[in-house]
């Protein structure tokens, strides 16, 4: 009996130390896999933080990935009410004759904006891109100026467009980082149109063409975005995938083949999902806490953050995050909605991962004379 008890005690002790050793072990994150591309980047959608990169700011030819910005401009025009999806576009001779991939629209035919968008997004139609550019801006050159204005507003610092298609031009350049910024902005701002990027095929003029993003068939978590290829650019792929509540954006530029761009993108996405987790710690415009406000029409003020506070962290480290708030107190009315009142920081192992101002989520005007007098007295006592 003694031998049996000794055996079980030893087994329990070993189990205890094994469990605690596993819990105490530091989180090991390997370096990103080798990616056979001229440049690449992997971005967390929620936070915009970069997980892995190589020559991410090197200007390169983007080929047909250019059409993501073309679509962004068209979506912006739709949002502003300047055009509608059912508007009919008259196809010019220039659009009809544009070389490269096409959706096979006919010269002088009338095609809806919606069909042209799908022809551009799914079939990568250069003819559709030019037709949309001319419809919106009168000429492709003017449309390219619009593209560059949007790029500047988005913070795409190393980008310059000269056409709507991505056809070769020495002055037509962008970077892996800038394309990731663009993709994140498009998905966030235009989710109702982003769905087209997951469409596997589109038929126009009785011609059915498949989406060139083969990851739509290989990986069910991939739901967009765009391929590109020219002799100068090589084979390129901008992709986005979502697993559970985590979305990643990858850009792989300058690979050797259509199969290579898909394989290298898959390696990059799998690495990100395997070793990292993404969390929105504090959602935008939600009450984080209520604080005492003096001399106001109300005694409690709701505070929060203007934009989502999100972090990308090694898997298993969520429990170790340490949020901290600081407030400018005591607080007196009047207070305006959006007014900065303090700050919030998210730390991991002493390092600040994210920070944001704390703002008032409501207006609180001055209270009655009685309320102001009473609160003045209370503040003196405190």
**How does pLDDT run across 234-250, given as a tens digit for each residue?**
999 999 999 999 999 99
Of 126, 134, 75, the C-alpha closest to 98 is 126
Beta bridge partners of 364: 335
Which residues make Cβ contacts (< 8 Å) with residue 16, sequence separation at least 6? Answer: none
Pick the CATH number of 283-381 from 2.60.410.10, 1.10.3720.10, 2.60.40.420, 1.20.1250.20: 2.60.410.10
Task: Render pLDDT for 91-113 as a digit per residue (tens, 0 to 9).
Answer: 999 999 999 999 999 999 999 99
Q: Which two tokens stand for residue 282?
A: 């504090």
- List the chain domain ranges: 39-277, 283-381
Dihedral of alpha carbons 151, 152, 154, 158, sign: positive
64: annotated active-site residue: yes
pLDDT band at 27 (very low <50, low <70, confident <90, very high): low
Report the distance separating Cα 366 and Cα 371, nearest Å. Answer: 9
CA dihedral 212, 218, 220, 222 (to 10 degrees): -50
Phi then psi for 108, rounded to 5 degrees? 70, 0
206: annotated active-site residue: no
Task: Render pLDDT for 133-189 as a digit per residue (tens, 0 to 9).
Answer: 999 999 999 999 999 999 999 999 999 999 999 999 999 999 999 999 999 999 999
pLDDT band at 16 (very low <50, low <70, confident <90, very high): very low
The pLDDT of residue 133 is: 98
Task: Render pLDDT for 211-221 as a digit per residue (tens, 0 to 9).
Answer: 999 999 999 99
The pLDDT of residue 12 is: 34
The pLDDT of residue 17 is: 32
Task: Render pLDDT for 335-345 as a digit per residue (tens, 0 to 9).
Answer: 999 999 999 99
Asked whether residue 360 carries a pLDDT value surpassing 80, the answer given is yes
Entry field: residues in the chain: 382
DSSP 304-339: E-SS-EEEEEETT-GGG-EEEEEE--SEES-B-TT-
Q: What number is the average pLDDT over the span 17-32?
A: 54
Of 275, 345, 279, the C-alpha closest to 42 is 275
39: annotated active-site residue: no
pTM comes to 0.89
The pLDDT of residue 102 is: 96
Distance of CA 296 to CAs 8, 286, 371, Å?
67, 21, 7
Phi then psi for 330, rounded to 5 degrees? -70, 155
Report the distance separating Cα 343 and Cα 357, nearest Å. Answer: 4
Task: Render pLDDT for 256-275 as a digit per residue (tens, 0 to 9).
Answer: 999 999 999 999 999 999 99
Beta bridge partners of 351: 348
Among 47, 76, 101, 124, which one carries the catalytic annotation?
Answer: 124
Asked whether residue 372 carries a pLDDT value surpassing 90, the answer given is no
Asked whether residue 22 carries a pLDDT value surpassing 50, the answer given is no
The pLDDT of residue 25 is: 39
Report the distance separating Cα 81 and Cα 258, nearest Å. Answer: 38
Higher pLDDT: 299 or 17? It is: 299
Among 39, 47, 67, 226, which one carries the catalytic annotation?
Answer: 67
Report the distance separating Cα 193 and Cα 196, nearest Å. Answer: 6
Phi then psi for 237, rounded to 5 degrees? -150, 125
Q: Which two tokens stand for residue 14?
A: 């070993």
Query: The domain 39-277 belongs to what CATH superfamily?
Result: DD-peptidase/beta-lactamase superfamily (3.40.710.10)
Q: How far is CA 92 from the centre of its chain?
A: 35
Q: What is the mean pLDDT of the chain?
A: 91
DSSP 62-104: -GGGHHHHHHHHHHHHHHTTSS-TT-EEEPPHHHHH--SS---
| DSSP helix/strand/coil, 252 | strand
Among 39, 47, 64, 129, which one carries the catalytic annotation?
Answer: 64
β-strands 331-332, 289-294 pairing: parallel
Quick one: how many helices (H) and strands (E) in the chain? 11, 17
pLDDT band at 382 (very low <50, low <70, confident <90, very high): low
């Amino acid at each position: 009996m003694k031998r049996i008890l000794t055996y079980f005690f030893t087994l329990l002790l070993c189990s205890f130390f094994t469990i605690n050793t596993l819990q105490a072990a530091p989180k090991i994150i390997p370096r990103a896999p080798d990616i056979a591309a001229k440049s690449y980047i992997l971005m967390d959608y929620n936070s915009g933080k970069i997980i892995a990169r190589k020559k991410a700011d090197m200007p390169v030819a983007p080929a047909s990935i250019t059409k993501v910005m073309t679509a962004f401009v068209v979506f912006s025009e739709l949002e502003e009410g300047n055009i509608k999806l059912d508007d009919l576009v008259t196809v010019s001779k220039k659009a009809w004759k544009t070389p490269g991939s096409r959706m096979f629209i006919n010269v002088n035919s009338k095609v809806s904006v919606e069909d042209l968008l799908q022809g551009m997004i799914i079939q990568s139609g250069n003819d559709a891109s030019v037709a949309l550019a001319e419809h919106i801006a009168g000429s492709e050159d003017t449309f390219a100026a619009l593209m560059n204005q949007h790029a500047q507003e988005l913070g795409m610092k190393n980008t310059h467009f000269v056409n709507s298609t991505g056809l070769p031009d020495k002055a037509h350049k962008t970077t892996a980082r800038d394309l990731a910024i663009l993709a994140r902005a498009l998905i966030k701002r235009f989710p109702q149109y982003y769905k087209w990027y997951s469409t596997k095929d589109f038929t126009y003029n009785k011609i059915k063409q498949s989406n060139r993003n083969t990851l739509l068939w290989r990986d069910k978590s991939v739901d967009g975005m765009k391929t590109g290829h020219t002799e100068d650019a090589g084979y390129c792929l901008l992709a986005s995938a979502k697993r559970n509540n985590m979305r990643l954006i990858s850009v792989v530029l300058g690979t050797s083949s259509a199969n290579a761009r898909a394989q290298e993108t898959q390696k990059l996405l799998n690495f990100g999902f395997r070793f990292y987790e993404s969390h929105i710690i504090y959602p935008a415009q939600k009450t984080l806490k209520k604080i005492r406000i003096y001399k106001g029409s109300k005694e409690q003020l709701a505070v929060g953050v203007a934009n989502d506070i999100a972090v990308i962290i090694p898997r298993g480290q969520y429990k170790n995050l340490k949020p901290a708030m600081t407030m400018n107190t005591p607080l007196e009315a009047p207070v305006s909605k959006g007014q900065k009142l303090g700050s919030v920081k998210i730390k991991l192992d002493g390092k600040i991962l994210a920070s944001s101002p704390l703002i008032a989520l409501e207006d609180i005007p001055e209270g009655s004379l009685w309320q102001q007098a009473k609160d003045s007295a209370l503040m003196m006592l405190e």
